[in-house]
């Protein structure tokens, strides 16, 4: 399927990145250089700052210091952030969002390539659920839906995927399928995970501990 896509994987560069919540520092002086096309597993204990770091790349978490570049470009203006969010596909950590009804089909179409996302959804066992509200899906089904959406976003041209514990709610078969889908994508991948299988499928493993990053393997 890769050769059908005209995707250019993008590099990620973090230099001295700091994030804080109020006075509480959550990410402390993080450096990370990920060449285009590399797959990186981001591990670390609960509360070590993985989600904060990934959200900072997308501009959902303000950065109090340091530099973040995707494909060699920084983001500052709202137009630049919109470009960044088009270039970087995102699977958020499972949370209870969506007070408001959104249909699964609408979630898949929002990726920018509804056909690819729907194809991936069918492969992940969501074929007949497209007219269901996202809030009626089980935790694992919702996670599969976001994975399928990420496939659509990559098909639509995203060159990087940031995935925040994308297999945490999946059953055993689902974890394998998801790891396969994730690693087949022709993009740069940074995946926060507690899942051995996902970490093993990556080229590099880095560990967050109390807001700081270190190389593991």
Partner 1 sequence: MIAELLALVPVQRAGFGLLLGAIALPPVGVLIVGLDIYPVRFAIMHVALLGSAIGLLTGTDPLLWALALCALAGGGLAPFATTSAGLSGAMGLLMSLAIAVALLVLSISGVNANGAFELLWGSILSTRPVDLVVLAVLAVAIPALFWWRRRDLSLLLHDRELAACSGVRTGPLTMVLLVVIAVSIAGAVKLTGALLVDALTLLPALAARRIGRGLTGMVVASIGIGLVVAVAGLLLALALDQPPGPVLVLLAGVIALLAQLPPMRRT
Shortest separation between residue 149's beta carbon and partner 1, angstroms: 9
Contact 105, 130 (CB under 8 A): yes
Kind plus residue range of the DSSP H or E element containing 40: strand 39-44
CA distance 93 to 6: 28
Residue 167 binds to ligand ATP (criterion: CB under 6 A): no
Residue 29 binds to ligand ATP (criterion: CB under 6 A): no
Q: How many C-beta atoms surround the C-beta of residue 37 within 10 A? A: 16
Shortest separation between residue 62's beta carbon and ligand ATP, angstroms: 11
Among positions 73-102, residues that touch partner 1 (CB under 8 A) are 78, 81-82, 85-86, 90, 92, 97-102
Residue 25 binds to partner 1 (criterion: CB under 8 A): no
**DSSP states along 163-201:** EESTTTT--HHHHHHHHHHHHHSSSEEEEE---HHHHHT
**DSSP states along 105-116:** HHHHHTTS-HHH
Contact 18, 196 (CB under 8 A): no
Q: Which of 17, 26, 32, 107 binds ligand ATP (CB under 6 A)?
A: 26
Residue number, 53 or 70, with CB nearest to ligand ATP: 53
Residue 152 binds to ligand ATP (criterion: CB under 6 A): no
> Phi/psi at 43 (nearest 5 deg)?
-110, 175
Q: How many C-beta atoms surround the C-beta of residue 185 within 10 A? A: 25
Contact 217, 196 (CB under 8 A): no
Residue number, 1 or 216, with CB nearest to Mg ion: 216
Q: Residues 103-132 vs Mg ion: string with x where CB under 5 A? A: ------------------------------
Which range, of 34-42, 45-53, 104-112, 182-190, touches partner 1 by CB under 8 A?
104-112
Residue 103 binds to partner 1 (criterion: CB under 8 A): yes
Among positions 158-217, residues that touch partner 1 (CB under 8 A) are none
Shortest separation between residue 40's beta carbon and partner 1, angstroms: 20
Contacts of 85 (CB under 8 A, 6+ apart): 58, 59
Question: Nearest-5° angle of CA 103, CA 105, CA 111?
Answer: 115
Binding site for ligand ATP (CB under 6 A): 21, 24, 26, 44, 46-52, 93, 208
Chain residues in the site for partner 1 (CB under 8 A):
58-60, 78, 81-82, 85-86, 90, 92, 97-103, 106-107, 109-112, 131, 133-134, 153
């Amino acid at each position: 399927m890769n050769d059908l896509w005209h995707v250019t994987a993008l590099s990620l560069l973090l230099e001295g990145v700091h994030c804080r919540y109020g006075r509480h520092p959550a990410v402390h002086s993080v450096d990370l250089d990920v060449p285009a096309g590399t797959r990186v597993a981001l591990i670390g204990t609960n509360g070590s700052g993985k989600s904060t770091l990934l959200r900072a790349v997308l501009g959902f978490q303000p950065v109090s210091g340091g530099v973040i570049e995707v494909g060699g470009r920084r983001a500052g203006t709202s137009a630049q952030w919109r470009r960044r969010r088009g270039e970087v596909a995102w699977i958020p950590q499972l949370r209870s969002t969506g007070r408001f009804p959104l249909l699964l089909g609408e979630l898949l179409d929002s990726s920018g390539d509804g056909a690819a996302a729907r194809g991936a959804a069918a492969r992940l066992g969501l074929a007949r659920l497209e007219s269901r509200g996202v809030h009626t899906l089980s935790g694992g089904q919702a996670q599969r839906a976001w994975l399928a959406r990420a496939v659509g976003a990559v098909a639509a041209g995203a060159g990087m995927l940031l995935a925040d514990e994308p297999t945490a709610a999946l059953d055993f078969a689902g974890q394998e399928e998801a790891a396969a889908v994730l690693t087949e994508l022709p993009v740069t991948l940074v995946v926060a995970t507690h899942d051995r299988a996902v970490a093993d499928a990556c080229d590099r493993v880095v560990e967050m501990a109390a807001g700081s990053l270190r190389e593991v393997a």
